[in-house]
Amino acid sequence: MAGPVCVAVAMCACVCLRDKSFPHSHAAIGEWKNKTPEQIDSEVQWRRIADIVAASSRTGAKLFADRIEPGDICQGQLGDCWLMSALACLANQEGAVQQVFLTKEYNAYGKYKVRLYDAPKEAWVTIAVDDWIPCGQDGRPIFAKPNGDEAWVLLLEKAMAKFKKKTLPGLLRQAGWREHHVGSGVPHRGLRVQV
């Protein structure tokens, strides 16, 4: 009679964060280009940052690459120029963008913690976001875009939308630079930065 047989099974699973409080659907997009929720869901695909930069990068996605500078920021189809301008000011201060991120490197799990200042409450808050970004049919982000393979711009825009408890286009209707600050410390014309 034969003895017991041992079978080894190898499983590989992709484990990544999907933030349920900021859903990957029209609910996070909100009103956009006079489209119905159904049209938005059919036209927008949510992609992870690694997949977005894979086509154009030889080195893969990074949270930060080399120097951070205002040229890293590309505004997309969202009229949040007030936020992009604030990020450009932040990028101009050596080390300031890195200080905003509590998560310091790109990670495969896709969870990032960002520290933002809530001016009305005079308190710092930590916002956690996943790295799923709304993209168009061409696979490119429809809102903020990286100029290269850095993720920080995409993640800060998403963190600000979640912080403001708004949809991404809802940022357009905010006087955000008056109410909240991105950064960490000394006032700099509506932008708090500690360097």
What's the CA gap between 156 and 166, in Å, rounded?
14
Which run of H or E residues covers position 84?
helix 81-91
Per DSSP, the three-state class of 164 is coil
Region label for 96, one of left (φ > 0), alpha (ψ between -120 and 50) or beta (otherwise): alpha
The pTM (predicted TM-score) of the whole model is 0.78
pLDDT value, residue 121: 83
Which regions in the chain score pLDDT beneath 50? Answer: 167, 172-181, 183-195
pLDDT value, residue 46: 95
81 among known catalytic residues: yes
Q: Which of 16, 81, 89, 135 is catalytic?
A: 81
